[in-house]
Structure 1
Amino acid sequence: MTKFRVGDFVKYNIYADNAATTAMYPEVAEIMRTYFVDDFYNPSALYRQATKIRRQIKNARETIASKIGALPEEIYFTSCGSEADNWALKGFVAAHKNPVSIITSQIEHHAILNTCTFLESRGCTVIRLPVSHTGIVNHQAYEASLHELNLPSIVSIMLVNNEIGSVQPIKEMAVQAHKVNACFHTDAVQAMGHIPIDVNDLHVDMLSASAHKFHGPKGMGFLYVRNGIKIAPLIYGGGQENGMRAGTENIAGIVGMAKALELSCKNMQSDREHIAKVRQAFLYAVREANIDCIVNKAESNVEGTISLSIKNANGEMIVNRLDLLGIAIATGSACNSRDMELSSVIKALHIPMEYAVGTVRISFSADNTIGDALIVAREIAKICV
Structure 2
Amino acid sequence: MKQVYFDSAATTRVRDEVITEMHKVLSENYGNPSSTHAFGRSSKSIIESARKTIAKRLNALPQEIIFTSGGTEADNMILRCAVRDAGVKTIITSRIEHHAVLHTAEELQQEYGINVEYVELQKCGTPDYDHLERLLQASEGLKLVSLMHVNNEIGNLLDVKKVAVMCKENNALFHSDTVQSIGHFEWDVQEVPIDFMTAAAHKFHGPKGIGFAYIRKNSHLKPLIFGGAQERGFRAGTEPVHNIKGLETAFVLAYDHLETERNYILDLKNYFKSEVEKHIPGVDFNGNCGDDANSTYTLLNVRLPLSAEKAMTLQFQLDLKGIACSKGSACQSGSSLGSHVLTQILSEEDLKKPSIRFSFSSYNNKEEIDYIVEVLKEIVEA
TM-score normalised by length of structure 1:
0.94
For 1:80-129, what per-residue CA distance to the aligned partner results, in whole angstroms no more than 9, with x for missing partners?
100000011001111045x6200001110000010011011120100111
Deviates more, 1:347-356 or 1:359-368: 347-356
2:86/2:219 contact within 8 Å kept: no
What is the rounded CA distance, in whole Å, between the counterparts of 1:83 and 1:269 in structure 2? 30
2:90/2:144 contact within 8 Å kept: yes
- Listed as ranges, the matches of 1:145-294 within 5 Å are 145-294=135-284
What is the rounded CA distance, in whole Å, between the counterparts of 2:282 and 2:246 in structure 1? 43
What is the rounded CA distance, in whole Å, between the counterparts of 2:132 and 2:253 in structure 1? 36
1:20 and 2:10 aligned:
yes
What is the rounded CA distance, in whole Å, between the counterparts of 1:139 and 1:119 in structure 2? 24
For 1:224-243, what per-residue CA distance to the aligned partner results, in whole angstroms no more than 9, with x for missing partners?
01111121212111111111
Counterpart position of 1:106: 95
Deviates more, 1:51-60 or 1:209-218: 51-60
Counterpart position of 1:323: 319
Tell me, what secondary structure is at the counterpart of 1:147? helix
What is the rounded CA distance, in whole Å, between the counterparts of 2:28 and 2:116 in structure 1? 48
What is the rounded CA distance, in whole Å, between the counterparts of 2:57 and 2:317 in structure 1? 40
For 1:242-290, what per-residue CA distance to the aligned partner results, in whole angstroms no more than 9, with x for missing partners?
1110011110111110110000011111111111111111111111113
Counterpart position of 2:360: 364
Deviates more, 1:310-319 or 1:110-119: 310-319
What is the rounded CA distance, in whole Å, between the counterparts of 1:245 and 1:287 in structure 2? 49
1:281/1:374 contact within 8 Å kept: no
* Structure 1 gap ranges (5+): 1-10
2:74/2:213 contact within 8 Å kept: yes
1:339 and 2:335 aligned:
yes
What is the rounded CA distance, in whole Å, between the counterparts of 2:64 and 2:360 in structure 1? 32
What is the rounded CA distance, in whole Å, between the counterparts of 1:250 and 1:316 in structure 2? 41
1:305/1:361 contact within 8 Å kept: yes
Counterpart position of 2:301: 307
Letter in 1 for 2:282: D
What is the rounded CA distance, in whole Å, between the counterparts of 2:246 and 2:44 in structure 1? 15
Q: 2:30 aligns with which of 27, 37, 40?
A: 40
Moved over 6 A (4+): none
Q: CA 1:274–1:313 in structure 2 vs 1: closer, same or farther (change >3 Å)?
A: farther
Aligned length in residues? 374
Q: 1:117 aligns with which of 106, 115, 128?
A: 106
Tell me, what secondary structure is at the counterpart of 1:200? coil
1:296/1:309 contact within 8 Å kept: yes
1:16/1:362 contact within 8 Å kept: yes
Deviates more, 1:255-264 or 1:294-303: 294-303
What is the rounded CA distance, in whole Å, between the counterparts of 2:367 and 2:234 in structure 1? 48
For 1:171-205, what per-residue CA distance to the aligned partner results, in whole angstroms no more than 9, with x for missing partners?
10111011111100000000111111222222110
What is the rounded CA distance, in whole Å, between the counterparts of 1:264 and 1:190 in structure 2? 13
What is the rounded CA distance, in whole Å, between the counterparts of 2:33 and 2:140 in structure 1? 43
1:352: Cα distance to partner?
A: 4.0
Q: CA 1:357–1:55 in structure 2 vs 1: closer, same or farther (change >3 Å)?
A: same
2:225/2:235 contact within 8 Å kept: yes
What's the Cα RMSD here?
1.4
Percent sequence identity over matched residues? 34
2:277/2:283 contact within 8 Å kept: no
Counterpart position of 1:4: none
Q: CA 1:80–1:316 in structure 2 vs 1: closer, same or farther (change >3 Å)?
A: farther
2:31/2:42 contact within 8 Å kept: no
Q: 1:67 aligns with which of 57, 75, 99?
A: 57
* Structure 2 gap ranges (5+): none
Letter in 2 for 1:219: G
Q: CA 1:377–1:130 in structure 2 vs 1: closer, same or farther (change >3 Å)?
A: farther
Counterpart position of 1:55: 45
Letter in 2 for 1:359: S
1:167/1:301 contact within 8 Å kept: yes
